[in-house]
Amino acid sequence: MTVSLPDGLVAVVKRDCPTCRLVAPVLADLRSRSLPLTIYSQDDPTFPDGLEPVDDTALDVSFALDVDTVPTLLRVEDGHETARLVGWSREQWAPFTGVAELGAGLPPHRPGCGSRTHDPDLAAARAAAADGARLASRRVELGPSEDDAEAMFERGWTDGLPVVPPTPERVARLLAGTTRDPDEIVAVVPPDLVPCTVEKVAVNAVMAGCRPDYLPVVLAAVEAACTDEFNIHGLLATTWFSGPLVIVNGPLARAIGMNDGINALGQGNRANATIGRALQLVVRNVGGGRPGGVDRATLGQPGKYTFCFAEREHDSPWEPLHVTRGLPASSSAVTLFAAEGPRGIIDQLSRDAESLANTFAACLRATTHPKLALAFDAVLVVSPEHGRVFREAGWSKAQLLEELDARLQLPGAELVRGAGGIAEGLPDAVQDLTLPKFRDGGLLIVHAGGGAGLFSAIIGGWASGAGGSAPVTKEIGS
């Protein structure tokens, strides 16, 4: 935006600046000498009192002039700035204005204050207002008597909980969290196979309650969920309990304040709660995946509202999940897993790695059913107190996986239908075989949770293999 400036002296001030209040008598002195002086006030259109300032509380002039500090004093000739001073300095202001002995009685120098144009909220709101007019999404006008929250419930846009109205300003503000073009196609979202733009993801992220700096994580999660390997369509259509779990690794998880400690799998952290929820809303509102429609879960589980946490990396006994899965430690990433709800493991007595591994293996065998092998993946969430047992024993993550695999080689005679008086099981063809509980790569290990409590958790998966889902790890971009 350009502005037309009057010739002469131009001052930009705000009442909330001590230096601006200090120089108010100086500005009054200049005005009394009939010098051409125009004053723009950033925060109070009456300041300085009695000097008829120009209202710049909308900051149009300040942004156009790229004001960093107030007071700023300009010299303008033929409508163009020719010189500039910031702060107060008698030694500089006197020759600049041509008035000797200016500001007698004032301190010789005082630094200025930050311009309101650098207030992060105001700058973001201004950018959002400008960008809001360029959004491509269809706008729904609500009637004057409609309540926003109730209107969104009635239109089927929610997951059963209230959502934040995605106003153009909010969506544009959220888009400031990424450098990607709002029109860029992020993914084709099942089940309706609808192309989903960055803007559409931002709309649903607003509704979920996300902050702008969460948007890159949500974008990566949407991309990972819509891959053939993850198979979000199949995950929706299954009658099993599962839904997408988002595990976040790397510096970005810490930067946006994600919870990897106490209650990491629970409520109370905005980033954890809203990132997972945003993914679910994209699948619902863009892809059409709604309960009772394509979503056919017999029972479902609370994690289908949102299921997202960060790995506790800073004191982990092992490399983080994204490194195990082939990405650099310096990168940030999401791993998508088709998850049922977590189930607890308690072992408060094991003080050696072998005993604790036996506990983990015994509990892991029961994932989905003790007699089913190779059909389901799982995530083992190891808490810090249990992790310390393996650290002290010198067990790497690879060694723990090997030890668990050895303990989870299951005799086919125990797995066949009818064995143990249980009709469920595998065909008789496996009677003489030994089968691993999990396929190669089907058991993921992460470190998370509070520092007290000898408890860990198993998060069971959905069907693995070509007809099911595989974990997908996606690096987070900007």
* DSSP per-residue string spanning 258-284: ---STTTTSS--HHHHHHHHHHHHHHH
Secondary structure percentages of the chain, helix, strand, coil, to 5: 35, 20, 45
Instruction: For residue 301, give the amino acid letter.
Output: Q
pLDDT (mean) for 429-452: 97
**Tens digit of each residue's pLDDT (9 = 90 or more) over 247-275:** 999 999 999 999 999 999 999 999 999 99
User: What is the distance between the alpha carbons of residues 260 and 311, in angstroms, rounded to a whole number?
Assistant: 5
Between the alpha carbon of residue 471 and those of residues 41, 205, 442, 474, the distances in Å are 56, 23, 8, 10
The pLDDT, as a whole number, for residue 131 is 63
From CA 145, how far away is CA 249, in angstroms rounded? 45
Mean pLDDT of 314-322: 98
Question: Could you report the per-residue pLDDT of 287-308, keeping only the tens digit for each?
Answer: 999 999 999 999 999 999 999 9
- pLDDT band at residue 142, thresholds of 50, 70 and 90? confident
- pLDDT 10s digits, 4-45: 899 999 999 999 999 999 999 999 999 999 999 999 999 999
β strands within 4-140, DSSP E: 8-13, 37-41, 54-55, 69-70, 72-77, 80-86, 88-89, 109-110, 113-114
Where are the strands (E) in 100-144, listed by range? 109-110, 113-114
DSSP state, residue 158: S
Write down the pLDDT at residue 90: 94
**pTM of the prediction?**
0.79
* Whether residue 54 has pLDDT greater than 60: yes
d(CA 367, CA 447): 19
pLDDT category at 120 given cuts 50, 70, 90 is confident
Q: What is the pLDDT of residue 14?
A: 97
> What pLDDT score was predicted for residue 350?
98
Domains of the chain plus CATH, in order, are: 8-118 (3.40.30.10), 148-475 (no CATH)
Q: Categorise residue 209: left if φ over 0, alpha if ψ from -120 to 50, beta otherwise.
A: left
The mean per-residue pLDDT over the stretch 164-187 comes to: 94
pLDDT band at 125 (very low <50, low <70, confident <90, very high): low
Residue with the larger pLDDT of the pair 124 and 228: 228
Based on C-alpha coordinates, what's the Rg of the chain? 31
Give the model's pLDDT for residue 118.
86
pLDDT-derived band of residue 478, with 50, 70 and 90 as boundaries?
A: confident
pLDDT band at 384 (very low <50, low <70, confident <90, very high): very high
CB 476 within 8 A of CB 256: no
- CB contact at 8 A, 466 and 230: no
| pLDDT exceeds cutoff 70 at 130 | no
Helices 168-175 and 198-208 pack at an angle, to 10 degrees, of 110
Distance (Å, rounded) from C-alpha 200 to C-alpha 261? Answer: 32
Q: What's the mean pLDDT when you consider all of the chain?
A: 95
Angle between helices 353-365 and 397-407 (to 10 degrees): 60
Instruction: With cut-offs at 50, 70 and 90, classify the pLDDT of residue 134.
Output: confident
How many whole angstroms separate alpha carbon 191 and alpha carbon 203? 19
Percent of the chain with pLDDT over 70: 97
